[in-house]
Amino acid sequence: MTWVSYFAVFFLIWWVTLFAILPFSLRTQDEDGNVTLGTTASAPRGSHVRRAALRTTIVSLIIFATLWVLTNQLGFSFDDIPRIAPVID
């Protein structure tokens, strides 16, 4: 794969990981007992986007590094996926 393909794969991994990580460590206004007038009680307490982006980048780099090792160092490709599991007749 070229570096453009690797960037595209990393970009996809990053976005999927972001949506998986966003709910973690989210505190609502209701949990803090301080609901701002005009907002719902389930609204986030404060912005945690910077922390979520950092966690997402770290987890995405780990996933991407695993993919890179499998494809570049061990020689696997997406075409090998059907051959990994044994065929049961």
d(CA 5, CA 24): 30
- Give the pLDDT mean for 15-28: 90
Q: Kindly report the average pLDDT of the chain as a whole number.
A: 87
With bands split at pLDDT 50, 70 and 90, how would you rate the model's confidence at 53? very high
Neighbouring-strand partners of residue 28? 44
Flag whether pLDDT at 3 surpasses 70: yes
DSSP characters for 54-71? HHHHHHHHHHHHHHHIII
pTM across the whole model: 0.75
Closest CA to 7 of 77, 60, 74: 60
Token couple for 88: 């049961």
The reported pLDDT for the residue numbered 81 is 67
